[in-house]
A and B are shown apart, each in its own frame.
Chain A
Amino acid sequence: MTAAALRPARLGPRDVVRVGAVGLRTRPMRAFLSALGIAIGIAAMVAVVGVSASSRADLDRALAALGTNLLTVAPGSTLTGERARLPVESEAMVARIAPVREVSAVGLLEDAKVYRTSRIPETDTNGIAAYATRTDLRAATGAALRSGTWLNGATASFPATVLGSTAARRLGIGHAGPDVQVLIGRTLFTVVGVLDPAPLAPELDSAALVGWPVAQARLGFDGHPTTIYTRSRDASVEQVREVLGATANPEAPNEVAVSRPSDALAARKAAGEAFTGLLLGLGAVALLVGGVGVANTMVISVLERRAEIGLRRSLGATRSQIRTQFLAESLLLSLLGGAGGALLGTLVTAVYALYQGWPVVIPAWAVAGGMAATLVIGAVAGLYPAVRASRLSPTEALSAA
């Protein structure tokens, strides 16, 4: 029985957790509510990151399917502000650029409006544009057929048309067929095909596409393309882009507008991501408020459990063991909230992504980061109450009972 033999026992990790859970066990409702605050914050953050990642994955999937090597050439405007025109030969010249694998073109038929029948008033054009179309357009743009067939060498010379998805809907045409006809200009055209939406060439959605020869023969088409579509080798897209303007219109390269439709799609998503940042900030605020809730709960818990603290001190608990107990309680509380929130956020992401038809992606870093944030918040929220509990003098604590 010497002074040196007095060594306070260490609590094992299991005992620390068990002692830390005493408060949660005896007041489950309060523990639930204060954990809920943390859970809402974490759920919001995980869901925001998850939804944005899922939509990103959907875009990547779409781009992978559509390809990012599509470049389009369109006439810009002349120096005097008039609309420029691409030379008739531009298509053939573009095809001579070495890395270009596919070339196709459409030519807008400005004077040919599209109607369901001849009885529709002339002004009701439905915003549908008629285009003279090369038969290889579908391969170049990746547009898929929903119904019927695509234009071929034969139908391109006859009054046959393929409708974009929006155009078909506006005209009230569900599917193609030999007896389905629409009026283009003054000629009845048979609808031989209907397209699905074309994400990389959205202008085709509201178009009625007819063959190049029939457009020249019946609709007064002058042969100047208004959009050239090219597919290049993936590695050479940027080089092709640089020379495309000068190749398409060597006389006036500045009158040519070159664009990459996949960039536009990606840019639209990027704009959405700025919004994601804002939502993430809101989630962080919710988390912070949840942390304040935990701190509040802990302060009250320490006040209420002074007798218990006194008893534990009389049973031999050191100051640091009391501190550890309340810190553990705070960490358990916020960890509980964090785990619940991560689960909830994952669930929200999954439901939303499945509803949108996206692949479900929950970035591991978001969940791990959320849990790390809860640990930090639990530690910060619990520190002050825990230190207060440990500083309580045992006699004062016991007499409070």
Chain B
Amino acid sequence: MIALRDVTKEYAGGVRALAGVSLHVEPGELVAIVGPSGSGKSTMLNVLGTLDRPTSGTVHIAGHDVGRLPDAKLSALRAHQIGFVFQQFHLAQGTKAIDNVADGLLYTGLGPGARRRRAAQALERVGLGHRMGHEAHELSGGERQRVAIARAVAGDPALLLADEPTGALDSASGDGVMALLRGLHEAGTTVVIITHDREIAASLPRQVRMRDGLITDDSAAAVPS
């Protein structure tokens, strides 16, 4: 599902966010990428999500060589294969939960009716079937994140990337969100969770530790990279 080989990423000004990273993730894995802030894990998420291109090295996502795809094809890859969950939810204000989720499918080429149907299914899946008509400001933090997760999985992506999904939530809501992500993993989705919370990382089957742009420890080191 994911294959990074000797990936580096340098930003203008000589900041080296990734200093030669190789990582292999099989389909259906549940992986935590953990590290303190500044360790390069956010850059890692951007590279995995094809939002950013590496300075050197190769990135393969779902069988596609990201470095060789033009912007339009990368966008299509994101639309069909990758779902994102952000710490700050990024829900549209003044818009109902179901429309927030349905709009997430806007770029998949589905018609409006199909988008709404899928959105309703996704909201049922995250346990918010009763909150579909509520706007973002009428929902609790945990519910908002669950709407965001519904938006990310409504299109059945093969890969779900979550950036500090519990970072803005209290521990009870956080546990609910984590349980949800585990459930999605059990249903077959490859899930990568980026976090600085060691406790959360420890609860996941595989942990990749990062520091200063390098992978310092991979609990599945046996897997060839």
Q: How far is the CA of A10 from the CA of B75 in the complex (A)?
A: 12
Min CB distance B9 to A, Å, is: 10
- Which of B69, B79, B90, B151 is A307 in contact with, Cβ under 8 Å? B90
Q: How far is the CA of A2 from the CA of B63 in the complex (A)?
A: 7
A393 touches B75 (CB 8 A): no
Pick from A307, A313, A319 the residue with the most CB of B within 10 Å.
Answer: A313
The chain A residue with its CB closest to the CB of B51 is A394
A315 touches B63 (CB 8 A): no
Residues of chain A within 8 A (CB-CB) of B104 are 315
Within 8 A of A (CB), among B80-114: 80, 82, 84, 86, 88, 90, 92-94, 103-104, 106-112
B76 touches A321 (CB 8 A): no
B94 touches A320 (CB 8 A): no
Residues of chain B within 8 A (CB-CB) of A238 are none
Does A311 have its Cβ within 8 Å of any Cβ on chain B?
A: yes
- Which of A6, A26, A317, A393 is B107 in contact with, Cβ under 8 Å? A317
A316 touches B90 (CB 8 A): no
Pick from A6, A9, A319 the residue with the most CB of B within 10 Å.
Answer: A6
Residues of chain A within 8 A (CB-CB) of B82 are 314
Min CB distance A6 to B, Å, is: 4
Q: How far is the CA of A10 from the CA of B109 in the complex (A)?
A: 6
B79 touches A315 (CB 8 A): yes
A3 touches B64 (CB 8 A): yes
Residues of chain A within 8 A (CB-CB) of B109 are 9-10
> When each residue 319-357 of chain A gets 1 if its CB lies under 8 Å from chain B and 0 otherwise, what string results?
111000000000000000000000000000000000000
Does A401 have its Cβ within 8 Å of any Cβ on chain B?
A: yes
Q: How far is the CA of A223 from the CA of B223 in the complex (A)?
A: 127
- Which of A6, A19, A308 is B73 in contact with, Cβ under 8 Å? A6
Main SS of the interface on chain A? helix
B78 touches A316 (CB 8 A): yes
A interface bracket (residues with beta carbon within 8 Å of B): 35 or more
**With contact pairs A308-B92, A318-B71, A320-B72 given, residues A313 and B51 touching in the complex (Cβ less than 8 Å):** yes
- Which of B51, B112, B151 is A14 in contact with, Cβ under 8 Å? B112
Pick from A9, A15, A311, A314 the residue with the most CB of B within 10 Å.
Answer: A314
**With contact pairs A8-B75, A315-B104 given, residues A15 and B86 touching in the complex (Cβ less than 8 Å):** no
List the interface of chain B (C-beta within 8 A of A): 46, 49, 51-52, 62-65, 68-69, 71-73, 75-80, 82, 84, 86, 88, 90, 92-94, 103-104, 106-112, 151
List the interface of chain A (C-beta within 8 A of B): 1-3, 6-12, 14-15, 19, 22, 25-26, 307-308, 310-321, 393-395, 398, 401
Known: A8-B73, A316-B75, A317-B107. 11 other contacts (CB 8 A): A3-B65, A3-B73, A6-B77, A8-B79, A9-B108, A10-B109, A308-B92, A310-B90, A317-B79, A319-B75, A321-B75
Sample 6 A-B pairs with CB under 8 A, ordered by A number.
A1-B63, A3-B63, A22-B92, A315-B103, A317-B75, A394-B51
